[in-house]
Amino acid sequence: MSKDILSLMGKNVCMKRHSALSSKTKTPASILGKAGATLVEELKGWDISLDCISDMPPKIQNDQESFKVAGFDLDGTLILTKSGSTFPKHERDWKWFDTNTIRKLQELASQDYLIVVFSNQGGFPVKSTSKRFLQFVTKWNEIRRQLEELDSNFQDRIFMIAAPKVNLEEPPKYRKPEIGMWNYFLERVQVPCSSPKDAKNIDLSSSFFVGDAAGRKTDFSDSDKAFAQTIGIQFQTPETFFRK
């Protein structure tokens, strides 16, 4: 078996860190090679395929009868660039959307919400040579680490699901406004259902999604709003959620 990341990803192999990489014969370096050591390190805990990447465990346990989901977009919603540019210049080019952001997230965590980020990341493909791929994974790891260090309530409660750049000929089922990322999430919380509205152990009336693509005059799109509407959960803009 070839051990470079391109051949691995070319076969669309799903890399489940907790299982595959715990094997003595398949260390991160042996799978991705020396050149990808930094990337491999940053990908600990991530589940990787060409059209969807996630930082969340394969199974989510829950003490409650049903899950309440606080969904967020990432860029322009949870965070902004520090530099003020549309796209981050490097992995440290981010700041919280508002001074309230962390406090609001803490409130949600203390109320037993699962905090799930659903993010379109069309700026990079899943590829070992993509700097932006590495930057994105590194940035998210740092964001999650900061939150978990601040408040243990965030542990096993804050997750990332992202849709990277894919071949345009493929239907973009994971990209918002499509709800492939939500369906991926449902699989992880073990909800066999044909429609999001039939998901028995998701409390849809308490769940919501916050995003900056809301179809307002200056918005580039309404994909966040449409995403929430298709799922059947409340939608809010980041301005309303964090600043009012």
Q: Map the footprint of Mg ion across residues 110-149, applying CB under 5 A.
A: none
Contact 65, 36 (CB under 8 A): no
Q: Which of 56, 76, 50 is nearest to 16 (CA)?
A: 56
**Contact 76/181 with Cβ under 8 angstroms?**
no
For Mg ion, the closer of residues 36 and 211 by Cβ is 211
Q: Which range touches Mg ion (CB under 5 A), out of 58-66, 70-78, 94-102, 105-113?
A: 70-78
Q: Which residue of this chain has its Cβ atom nearest to Mg ion in the complex?
A: 76
C-alpha span between 74 and 224 (Å, rounded): 11
- Closest distance to Mg ion from the beta carbon of 237 (Å): 10
Residue type at position 156: D
Burial 166-187 (b: 16+ CB within 10 A, else e): beeeeebebbbbbbbbbbbbbe
Q: Which is nearer to Mg ion, 76 or 180 (CB)?
A: 76
What's the CA gap between 29 and 23, in Å, rounded? 12
Q: Which helix (H) or strand (E) holds 27?
A: none
Closest CB to Mg ion among residues 39, 160: 160
DSSP E strands: which ranges in the chain?
Answer: 15-16, 46-48, 53-55, 68-72, 79-80, 95-96, 113-121, 158-164, 208-210, 234-236
Q: Which is nearer to Mg ion, 33 or 76 (CB)?
A: 76
Q: Is 212 in the site for Mg ion (CB under 5 A)?
A: yes
- Given the rule CB under 5 A, which of 76-84, 96-104, 138-146, 193-201 is the region that contacts Mg ion? 76-84
Q: Which of 41-49, 160-168, 199-207, 212-220 is the region at the interface with Mg ion (rule: CB under 5 A)?
A: 212-220
# residues contacting Mg ion (CB under 5 A): 4
- Give the integer Cα–Cα distance in Å for 110 and 104: 10
Q: Is residue 91 involved in binding Mg ion (CB under 5 A)?
A: no
Least gap, CB of 162 to Mg ion (angstroms):
12
Nearer to Mg ion, 121 or 141 (CB): 121
> Which region among 14-22, 69-77, 125-133, 143-151 touches Mg ion (by CB under 5 A)?
69-77
Q: Rule CB under 5 A: say whether 76 interacts with Mg ion.
A: yes
CA distance 15 to 45: 9
Closest approach of Mg ion to the CB of residue 221, in Å = 9
Pick the piece of the chain touching Mg ion (CB under 5 A) from 34-42, 74-82, 152-160, 186-194.
Answer: 74-82
HSE-up of 205 (CA within 13 Å, CB side)?
1
Strand pairing category for 95-96 and 79-80? antiparallel
75 binds Mg ion (CB under 5 A): yes
- Contact positions vs Mg ion (CB under 5 A): 73, 75-76, 212
